[in-house]
Amino acid sequence: MQELSSLISTEDLYLFNTGQLFRAYRTFGAHAMEYQNQQGVRFVVWAPHAREVAVVGDFNSWTDDVAKLKLERFGTTGVWCGFAPGLSEGAKYKFELLNEQGQRFLKTDPFSFQSELRPKTASIVTRLDQHNWKDQSWMDWKSQHPPYEQPMLVYEVHLGSWRIYGPEQYRTYAQLADELVDYVKEMGYTHIELMPITEHPLDQSWGYQVTGYYGATSRYGHPQGLKLLIDRCHQEGIGVLLDWVPGHFCKDDHGLRLFDGTPLYEDSDSRRAEKPLWGTLTFDFAKPEVQSFLLSSALFWLDVYHIDGLRVDAVASMIDLHFDKPQSMKTYNRYGGTEHIEALNFLRKLNETVFQYYPFTLMMAEDSSSYPAVTQPTYLGGLGFNYKWNMGWMNDMLRYMEIDPSERSSHHSLITFSLLYAFSENYILPLSHDEVVHGKRSLLHKMPGSYEEKFANLRLFYAYWMTHPGKKLLFMGGEFGQFDEWKDFTELDWSVLQYPMHSNMQRYVKDLNHVYLRNEVLWSQDHVHQGFEWIDVNNAEQCILSFQRTGKQLDSTLVTVCNFSRNTHPIYRIGVPIDGTYRLLMNSDDAQYGGSGIHFVSEVQADSIPIHGKSFSIEVPVPALSVQLWKKE
């Protein structure tokens, strides 16, 4: 014990065992260091029910009983520790554990910073302190500009299919630091959201079934390349968000499942542990050591990789004990309810911990439930996130847009209902990968009508989405109207850009993005009702909606006019809140975007003719399946 105390801190182990070691990755795992005047690697692992723990690897032929490094148990902490002199960065290793039944098995390091490229599974000793960051200006700017009053246009990306050379021939992180960042900046996005890049064994899981909560996947190169990618984003003023999956983990033998021969990271009650829909296991959120493991993982990506925010996956599945459970697997909390109390407490602790160290981080809940106060502070009884995905808006709008325009008048509430709750949480309006896979069809393909009408509907949808309160997220490929749904095994259908309608769509989305960025009325008051007002919400018969967005200055107004029908109105009068000149910012029916090209004047003067409860009004043409944005000069 005396010798071990000089290798690891007893205070760290106490904090780990009590769920308070928030940077456990500095203690656990494999760390190159000097010990007793020798260079080598320190190994630390939590395995309280193991009888023996050793380190095997390419340095001792994996199975050589004489040469393998046997670890020592640190008292009653359940932690094992040892030092391998002469070992250095790049060594491949696993933990060999002997369970109570006398069985030996190999496990990868839960705290591994890098792993072999699948299908191999060994952990790799890796240093992560060698990148010279050049993003201090971004960090300073971020600390002075809270996200609520800033534009947020997120481009969701799967690195294995954005652009590739061929099957399993991926762009590296370093290559994407040029190609992807240049594209995102040109298109006007403010953030990139990376679908999970934590290490995972199966490509088709898209990273949502994790084995390495501290390891950047080797599919795209060395972890240093990921730092280069993120650093370049920050230098270009682009934030980076990471899909993070604390709700469940995969069952692969080399991973966390039955880590020391017993349910260690997962709940010991199989009814709570199993997620039958996904074939995965739920973390035991009540266990202090599991809390230390997960909280440290969250801070790790912020500390080491300068990630700007975490999109916490599948929150609804975490907080509901009955989520996707057959009757035989249903359990109840101590009050007889179905809320997963330990998971709810973990999420509150997660957000409190992250904001304690990084107050300006984006913590976003991907939550399809109706659980209240997700984005309220924990001291007010909320879960403490600062954003929630608005799944209700997304489902209603996609359902509405799939309806043929001739039948939309009887479904008008689908596009208006969201404003009844739009300010109850801080929302992101997501058009994510989940909506364009598994036979759901691409966004363009969902649209009804002829070839031209499909594009017109999508342009209409995008402009309504852009002017609706809430931050925005679009999955890659949506910006140029990919016709096929997303295929994770090949790259996006970039070839369709040779066709005018697709290239016009890309130009339209780019211009729409930049209109959004330049006009603070579209984002400075996203979360308060003062930033939005209906002008005409009741014209279901003609399927026409009009509303205004208002900025922090009272005379800062933008009027949106949406026509969801096939009928064109050469003259249409709309109430406006202020007298003066209104300038056309955007017309989705413009010929340059593939529209009909109906002539529009660039500006109109308000008349003193009351309508729609307003003292003034303007007359404008309203083409079929179109949106116009008019800004008060």
Per residue in 361-413, pLDDT tens? 999 999 999 999 999 999 999 999 999 999 999 999 999 999 999 999 999 99
User: For position 61, what pLDDT does the model report?
Assistant: 81
Last residue within a domain, chosen from 83, 108, 124: 124
- The mean pLDDT value for 511-518 works out to 97
Q: Which helix (H) or strand (E) holds 106?
A: strand 104-107
- Give the whole-angstrom CA distance, residue 405 versus residue 388: 30
333 lies in some domain: no
50 lies in some domain: yes
The mean of the pLDDT values for the chain is: 95
Helix/strand/coil for 380:
helix
Phi-psi group of 258: left, alpha or beta (phi > 0 → left; psi -120 to 50 → alpha; rest → beta): left
Last residue within a domain, chosen from 74, 101, 124: 124
pLDDT, one tens digit per residue, over 22-52 is 999 999 999 999 999 999 999 999 999 999 9
226 lies in some domain: no
Low-confidence winner among 28-32, 316-320, 622-626, 629-633 (lowest mean pLDDT): 629-633
Q: Which amino acid is at 398?
A: L
Q: Which amino acid is at 5?
A: S
- The mean pLDDT value for 254-258 works out to 97
- Give the whole-angstrom CA distance, residue 577 versus residue 312: 40
User: For position 545, what pLDDT does the model report?
Assistant: 97
E strands of 68-190, at which residues?
Answer: 69-70, 72-74, 79-85, 92-98, 104-107, 123-124, 153-157, 164-166, 169-170
- Give the whole-angstrom CA distance, residue 328 versus residue 213: 31
Read off the CATH number of the domain in which 573 is found: 2.60.40.1180
Both tokens assigned to 188: 């006007």
φ and ψ at residue 435, rounded to 5 degrees: -90, 0
User: For position 305, what pLDDT does the model report?
Assistant: 98
pLDDT, one tens digit per residue, over 191-238 is 999 999 999 999 999 999 999 999 999 999 999 999 999 999 999 999
Domain that holds residue 19: 2-124
User: For position 624, what pLDDT does the model report?
Assistant: 96
- Give the whole-angstrom CA distance, residue 486 versus residue 491: 9
pLDDT, one tens digit per residue, over 476-499 is 999 999 999 999 999 999 999 999
pLDDT at 588 over 80: yes
- Give the whole-angstrom CA distance, residue 551 versus residue 523: 8
- Give the whole-angstrom CA distance, residue 241 versus residue 361: 10
Per-residue confidence at 146, pLDDT binned at 50, 70, 90? confident
Q: Provide the angle, in degrees to the nearest 10, between the axes of the packed helices 288-303 and 10-17.
A: 110
User: For position 554, what pLDDT does the model report?
Assistant: 63
43 lies in some domain: yes
Question: How would you label 436-466 residue by residue, b for 16+ Cβ within 10 Å and e otherwise?
Answer: bbeeebbbbbbbeeeeebbbbbbbbbbbbbb
- Residue among 211, 253, 263, 324 at smallest CA distance from 105: 253
pLDDT, one tens digit per residue, over 148-205 is 889 999 999 999 999 999 888 999 999 999 999 999 999 999 999 999 999 999 999 9
Read off the CATH number of the domain in which 61 is found: 2.60.40.10
Both tokens assigned to 332: 């109840």
User: For position 149, what pLDDT does the model report?
Assistant: 87
629 contacts 585 by C-beta, under 8 angstroms: yes
410 lies in some domain: no
pLDDT at 64 over 70: no
Per-residue confidence at 3, pLDDT binned at 50, 70, 90? low
27 lies in some domain: yes
Q: Which amino acid is at 420?
A: L
pLDDT at 1 over 90: no
User: For the whole model, what pTM was predicted?
Assistant: 0.96
How many domains is the chain built from? 2
427 lies in some domain: no
89 lies in some domain: yes
**Omega before residue 372 within 30° of 0, cis:** no
pLDDT, one tens digit per residue, over 525-569 is 999 999 999 999 999 999 999 999 999 876 689 999 999 999 999
- The mean pLDDT value for 305-313 works out to 98
User: For position 325, what pLDDT does the model report?
Assistant: 94
Both tokens assigned to 79: 């932690």
Residue numbers annotated as active site: 313, 366
Last residue within a domain, chosen from 124, 142, 161: 124
Helix/strand/coil for 414:
helix
pLDDT at 586 over 90: yes
Both tokens assigned to 255: 């991973």
Per-residue confidence at 59, pLDDT binned at 50, 70, 90? confident
